C-alpha cells in the first residue's frame, strides 16, 4: 500500500515513503551510537566492579597523601587524590605513587583503605563492600540503558485494536522479558547510587 499525502497548496499527492525511510535511517544511526556508548559504559563499569570485588588484579593498601577539589564551581565537587599504593606483603620500597581522579570522596590526609591494582599501574580501585557499591550503580544504569535500547528494537509495532484473547507472540514475550530486565537493572542502579550517596555524606 502506497502512503500518499495531498499538498494543500497544489492539490497534488506526494509520496511520503522517502521521508519515512529517512526518519528510520536517522533513528537507527542515533540508536547505534547510543547502544555503543551504553555498551562501552557497561564494559568499563563491569571491569571496575570486578576489580573492586577482587576478581583480578593485585591486592594492597592505598594511603591518601592529599585530596583536593578540581571543580571551581561550588555546586559540584570533583575530588582527586594523591597517594601511594603498596601491594600486600610489600614494603616502603614497593609503594607506587598513584593519582586517583574523581574519587567521589574527600578523604582526610593519611587515610588508608584496601585497594586493588589493575593490569595498568595507575588503575586503582577501592576494594571491599564500599568499593563494590561505588561501581555497582554504574553497572546497573548502563545495563538498564542498553536493555532499554534493546527493548525499542524487540518490541512489536502497536496495533490499532488489541486482542487480549490472542496468544502473545515470541516477539511480545521477548519484549516483556527485556522490560523486566530494564526494571531489575534500574532498581540495582538506584539502590547502589543511594547507598553510595549515603556513604559519601556520612564519610
Q: pLDDT tens digit string along 34-45?
A: 999 999 999 999
Asked if 29 and 64 sit in the same domain, the reply is: no
Q: Extract the C-alpha cell encoding 145.
A: 540503558
d(C-alpha 46, C-alpha 113), whole Å? 21
Asked if 195 and 136 sit in the same domain, the reply is: yes
The answer as to whether 164 is a domain residue is no
Nearest to 85 by CA among 64, 106, 61: 61
The answer as to whether 2 is a domain residue is no
- Burial degree of 95 (CB within 10 A; 0-12, 13-18, 19+): middle
**Res 202 pLDDT > 90:** no
The answer as to whether 8 is a domain residue is no
Asked if 85 and 174 sit in the same domain, the reply is: no
Backbone φ and ψ of 110, nearest 5°: 90, 0
When the pLDDT of each residue in the chain is averaged and rounded to a whole number, the result is 82
The answer as to whether 5 is a domain residue is no
The answer as to whether 4 is a domain residue is no
The answer as to whether 162 is a domain residue is no
pTM listed for this prediction: 0.72
In tens, the pLDDT along 91-122 reads: 888 888 888 887 777 888 998 989 998 887 67
Asked if 101 and 146 sit in the same domain, the reply is: no
Asked if 32 and 87 sit in the same domain, the reply is: no
Asked if 138 and 151 sit in the same domain, the reply is: yes
45 close to 135: Cβ distance less than 8 angstroms: yes
E-strand ranges in 28-106 read 58-69, 79-87, 96-100
Asked if 34 and 64 sit in the same domain, the reply is: no
Q: In the structure, what pLDDT confidence band is assigned to residue 15 with cuts at 50, 70 and 90?
A: low
Asked if 78 and 107 sit in the same domain, the reply is: yes
In tens, the pLDDT along 149-193 reads: 998 888 877 765 656 666 777 888 888 898 999 999 999 999 988
- Burial degree of 127 (CB within 10 A; 0-12, 13-18, 19+): buried
Asked if 86 and 118 sit in the same domain, the reply is: yes
Range of the domain at 84: 57-126
Asked if 136 and 47 sit in the same domain, the reply is: yes
Locate cell 494543500: which residue? 8
Asked if 136 and 193 sit in the same domain, the reply is: yes
The answer as to whether 117 is a domain residue is yes
Asked if 115 and 64 sit in the same domain, the reply is: yes
3-state helix, strand, coil split of the chain in percent (to 5) is 50, 20, 30
Give the chain's domain count.
2
- Stated as kind and residue range, the H or E segment containing 115 is strand 112-117
The answer as to whether 160 is a domain residue is no
Amino acid at each position: 500500500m502506497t502512503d500518499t499525502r495531498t499538498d494543500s497548496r497544489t492539490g497534488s499527492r506526494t509520496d511520503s515513503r522517502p521521508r519515512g525511510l529517512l526518519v528510520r535511517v536517522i533513528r537507527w544511526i542515533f540508536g547505534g551510537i547510543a547502544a555503543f556508548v551504553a555498551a562501552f559504559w557497561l564494559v568499563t563499569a563491569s571491569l571496575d566492579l570486578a576489580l573492586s570485588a577482587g576478581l583480578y588484579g593485585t591486592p594492597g593498601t592505598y594511603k591518601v597523601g592529599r585530596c583536593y577539589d578540581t571543580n571551581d564551581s561550588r555546586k559540584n565537587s570533583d575530588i582527586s587524590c594523591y597517594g601511594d599504593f603498596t601491594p600486600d606483603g610489600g614494603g616502603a620500597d614497593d609503594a607506587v605513587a598513584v593519582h586517583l581522579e574523581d574519587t567521589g570522596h574527600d578523604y582526610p590526609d593519611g587515610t588508608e583503605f584496601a585497594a586493588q591494582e589493575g593490569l595498568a599501574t595507575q588503575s586503582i580501585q577501592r576494594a571491599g563492600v564500599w568499593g563494590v557499591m561505588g561501581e555497582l550503580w554504574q553497572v546497573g544504569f548502563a545495563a538498564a540503558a542498553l536493555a532499554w535500547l534493546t527493548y525499542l528494537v524487540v518490541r512489536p509495532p502497536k496495533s490499532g485494536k488489541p486482542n487480549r484473547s490472542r496468544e502473545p507472540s515470541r516477539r511480545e514475550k521477548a519484549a516483556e522479558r527485556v522490560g523486566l530486565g530494564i526494571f531489575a537493572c534500574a532498581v540495582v542502579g538506584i539502590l547502589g547510587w543511594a547507598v553510595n550517596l549515603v556513604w559519601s555524606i556520612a564519610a
